[in-house]
Structure 1
C-alpha cells in the first residue's frame, strides 16, 4: 500500500467515524446509551486503523511522526473523551443544582493534575515544537531519560510510541474541559441532540463565504489539513443549504480585485478588533 492510498483510507475511516458519532448524538437515546454506542464505534475504528498500519510501511521518519503525532491521537482522543464522559455521567448524583455544580467543578479540578504532571510535554506540544519528535513519535526509540508513562511496558510497540498517547490525552482533556464548563453552567452540552439545533442561514454575499472557505482550507483547518477543497465546499453547502456555484471562477474574480483582494477577511479582522476594544471601555 502506498502513502496516498494509506492516507485516503484513514481519511475515509475518520469520516465514517465522525458521521456515526453525529448520527448517534442525533438520536433520542439517553446520554449514557449514546456514549456507550459511540465508544463501540470508536473502538472498531481504532482496530481498523491498527489493521491498516499493519499493511503499510512508513516511507520516512516524517511519515511516521505525522501518523503518531497527528493521525492516531485524533482517534484515541475520542475514545478517552467519551470514556470519561461516560464515567462522569454514570456516577453523577441525583441532587439539587448546587450539588451538581460542585460535582462537575470537582471533576474539572481533577484535570489540573494531568496538566501539572505533564506540563513540560504539554508545553512542547502546544508550541508545535518538533526538535524531539524523533524521540516522542517514532517507534522503538524510547529514551528512558525522558519522562515516560508508567504503563509504557504494556504498550503494543508496533502501534505505539512513547508519547502519542499523551497527545491523545491532551486533546481529550481539552474536550472534557469544555464539556465540564457547560455542565457547570448546567447546560445540556453533549446531552442535547444536534438535531435540536436549528440550521443557520448564510446571509452575507456568497463571494464572502467563498473567500473565507479558501482561507480556511489554505490554513489547513479541516481534518488536520487532509481535507480536499471540494470536500470543504460540499460540507459548507450542505451545512448552510447554499449553492456556491463555480467557486474556482469566483476565486479568479477575487484575484482581479484592484485593491484589498481579501476584503471580507479584512472586515472580519476589523470587526473583531473593534469588538475586543469595546470590551475594555
Structure 2
C-alpha cells in the first residue's frame, strides 16, 4: 500500500510542478492545483479504506509523513487563492502592509501551536501513538475542533497539524517572495552595454533553478557573497524569464527520489562526451 501511496504522491508533484511553471496567473494556477490535488487525495483515501496497514508503525508513518504531504498542498493553494483574491488595490506601501499582515497570521499560528511545533520539528516520536493512530486521542492535548468532524477512518488527531506546518513553510516563502518583488519593482536598471546577440533560455525553468542553486552553493559569483535572490533576479533579467516561486521549486527538486541533480548531471555527461570527442570537434 505504501508503494501505491508514494506513486500517487510522485505523480501529483510532477503535475503541480508543471502547473507552477506553465500557468502564470496565480488564481488560475491555484484553482487547477486544488482540482488535481483533490483527485489525488480521493484516490489516496480509497486505497487506505480498501487496505489495512501491516502494523501500527506503518499507520503512524502514513499519517505522520505521507498524508500530510497531500493535505499540505490543498492548504497551501487554498490559502494562496484566498490571499490573492483579497489582495487590495493600491501601491507598493499598501501591498507590503497586506503581505506583512499575512506573515503575522502565520506567526500567530506558530505561537499558538508552539508545543506541537517543537515536538514535530525535533523529530520526537514518544507521542506518535496518540497523534498518528486512528481512534487514539487525548482531549487534554488541546485537539482542533475540525478533528471531531473529520472522517475518523481517514484522520488522526494531528495529521492535519503536520500538514499545516508544511503548508505554512511554503506560504511563508510565497509571501517573502512577494515582498521582495515589491521592493524591487521600482528599481530601474542602469544602462549597460548590450551584446550584439540576444540569448534566450530554451531549457526548462526547473533546469535553470537547479543551475542557479548550484552556482550559489559553489559560491562562484561575487566571491561567494552573492545572495540567492540576487542571482535568481539576475538570470530572470538577462533571460527575460519569470522563475516564479523558485525556492518552492527547489524544495520539489530536493524531494526527487532519483537523480536530484538531473540537469547538472546531464551537463556533466555532455561535457565529458565532448572532451572525449574533442579531436572531432576542432
Give the TM-score normalised by structure 2.
0.69
Query: How many residues align structurally?
Result: 211
Alpha-carbon offset, residue 198 of structure 1: 6.2
Distance 1:89 1:195, change over 3 A: farther
CA distance in 1, matches of 2:264, 2:77: 25
- Residue 172 of structure 1 pairs with residue 167 of structure 2: yes
CA contact 2:96–2:182 (8 Å) conserved in 1 = no
Q: 1:119 aligns with which of 107, 114, 120?
A: 114
Q: Runs of 5+ in structure 2 lacking a partner?
A: 184-202, 216-252, 271-282
Aligned partner of residue 148 in structure 1, secondary structure: coil
Aligned partner of residue 141 in structure 1, secondary structure: coil
CA distance in 2, matches of 1:95, 1:126: 38
Q: How does 1:216-255 map to 2 (within 5 A)?
A: 223=255, 232-233=258-259, 235-238=260-263, 240-242=265-267
Q: Deviations over 1:197-236 (max 9, x none)?
A: 7622979xxxxxxxxxxxxxxxxx965xxx7xxx522x53
In structure 2, the partner of 1:215 is: none
Alpha-carbon offset, residue 17 of structure 1: 0.7
In structure 2, the partner of 1:15 is: 10
CA contact 2:131–2:137 (8 Å) conserved in 1 = yes
Q: Deviations over 1:149-184 (max 9, x none)?
A: 112210100000000000000110111111111112
Aligned partner of residue 113 in structure 1, secondary structure: helix
Aligned partner of residue 258 in structure 2, secondary structure: helix
Q: How does 1:178-193 map to 2 (within 5 A)?
A: 178-186=173-181
Q: Deviations over 1:100-122 (max 9, x none)?
A: 11110011111122111111111
CA contact 2:207–2:263 (8 Å) conserved in 1 = no
In structure 2, the partner of 1:210 is: none
In structure 1, the partner of 2:148 is: 153
Q: Deviations over 1:22-45 (max 9, x none)?
A: 111222441101110001001111
Q: 1:132 aligns with which of 127, 132, 143?
A: 127
CA distance in 2, matches of 1:171, 1:18: 15
CA distance in 2, matches of 1:111, 1:10: 29
Q: Stretches of 4+ moved more than 4 A in 1?
A: 194-198
Q: Deviations over 1:31-64 (max 9, x none)?
A: 1011100010011111111011112211111111
Alpha-carbon offset, residue 71 of structure 1: 0.3
Q: Runs of 5+ in structure 1 lacking a partner?
A: 1-5, 189-193, 204-220, 246-281
Alpha-carbon offset, residue 77 of structure 1: 0.4
CA distance in 2, matches of 1:186, 1:94: 16
Q: CA RMSD in A?
A: 2.5
In structure 2, the partner of 1:262 is: none
